[in-house]
Amino acid sequence: MRFTSLIVATASLLFGALPASAQPWQPANGDTLAFDVLRDGGEFGTHIVKFTRDGDLLTVKTDVALKVAFGPLTFFDYVHDVTERYNAGKLVWVGSRTKNDGKWKTLSVQPEEGGLAVKGPRFKGLLKGLVIPSTHWNRDEMKQPTMFSTETGEMLPIKVKDRGKESVKVAGQMIEAQRFDVDSEIDASFWYDAFGRWVKCAFEAQGSRIEYVLRALPG
């Protein structure tokens, strides 16, 4: 058992599971959130988030690959790769590339005096204040009236409803998780465990049920 896992297990025995607000998750070096994405219960693709930490520097890499094909015919092919960099918890850089309908688009975010300079397909300009990318691993996204689209560069308005705790299956075991329903361009539900780790996502798209199934909890 890794040392960090031993600490969490011991704390849980002594104090019980602490809510995310009391113990926000700080991803450790090498942590991974690996989701299998299902479409109406069938294989649709993967959504992988990997964390690399070096002192105060945190790098988060997200790789999304979704595809619908029948034999040699491809009906849907979506790729979204994002890299985020943080220094002492502050977002300092974002880069992404997205393939949709066979076309590639890129986005970049760099620090500039007064905020973050964005060059995206739908927005180019300066963003000020707190910016949380739409990679969903950060539970604080659920506390904001907007989220930063890592695909377009826009600040998307969102409305979030806390639906309380629900049981979620992760790697064959049931855990308690907080559910949030998000009303935005696509209405979706997100679940986070007691330590603030993203553990599930579900939404409807073009008449299909899309569900994210986490392979294992990190740590």
Class of domain 25-214: mainly beta
Q: What is the distance between the alpha carbons of residues 86 and 131, in angstroms, rounded to a whole number? A: 12
The percentage of the chain sitting over the pLDDT mark of 90, rounded to a whole number, equals 78
**Domain boundary assignment for the chain:** 25-214
Does residue 20 register a pLDDT over 60? no
The arithmetic mean of pLDDT across residues 33-51, rounded, is: 97
- Distance separating the N- and C-terminal Cα atoms of the chain: 9
Average of pLDDT values for 62-78? 91
pLDDT for 18: 38
Mean pLDDT of 9-13: 29
- pLDDT computed for residue 12 by the predictor: 31
Please give the pLDDT value at position 206: 86
Note the pLDDT tens digit of each residue in 106-143: 999 999 999 999 999 999 999 999 999 999 999 999 99
Can you read off the two tokens belonging to residue 44? 């649709």
The tokens describing 34, both together, are 């690996």
Residue 211: closest CA among 4, 95, 83, 42: 42
Residue 199: the pLDDT is 97
Q: DSSP for 9-37?
A: HHHHHHH-PPPTTTS---PPTT-EEEEEE
Q: What is the pTM for the complete model shown? A: 0.86
Q: Residue 126: what pLDDT? A: 97
Q: Is the separation of the CB atoms in 33 and 9 below 8 Å?
A: no
- DSSP state letters, the chain: --HHHHHHHHHHHHH-PPPTTTS---PPTT-EEEEEEEETTEEEEEEEEEEEEETTEEEEEEEEEEEEEETTEEEEEEEEEEEEEEETTEEEEEEEEEEETTEEEEEEEEEETTEEEEE-SS-EEEE-S---BTTS--GGGGG-SEEE-TTT--EEE-EEEEEEEEEEEETTEEEEEEEEEEESSS-EEEEEETTS-EEEEEEEETTEEEEEEES----
**Contacts of residue 52, Cβ cutoff 8 Å, sequence gap at least 6:** 29, 30, 58, 59, 60, 61
Q: How confident is the prediction for the chain on average, in pLDDT?
A: 88
- pLDDT at residue 136 in the model: 96
pLDDT given for residue 102 in this prediction = 87
* pLDDT for 16 beyond 60: no
Contact criterion met (CB below 8 Å) for 185 and 203 = no
Give the pairing type, strands 155-157 and 146-148.
Answer: antiparallel
Q: Cα angle at 200 between 199 and 202, to 5 degrees? A: 170
Asked if the model's pLDDT at residue 191 lies above 80, the reply is yes
- For 33-42, what is the mean pLDDT? 97
> pLDDT over 70 for what percent of the chain?
89
Q: What is the pLDDT of residues 148-158, one digit of tens each?
A: 999 999 999 99
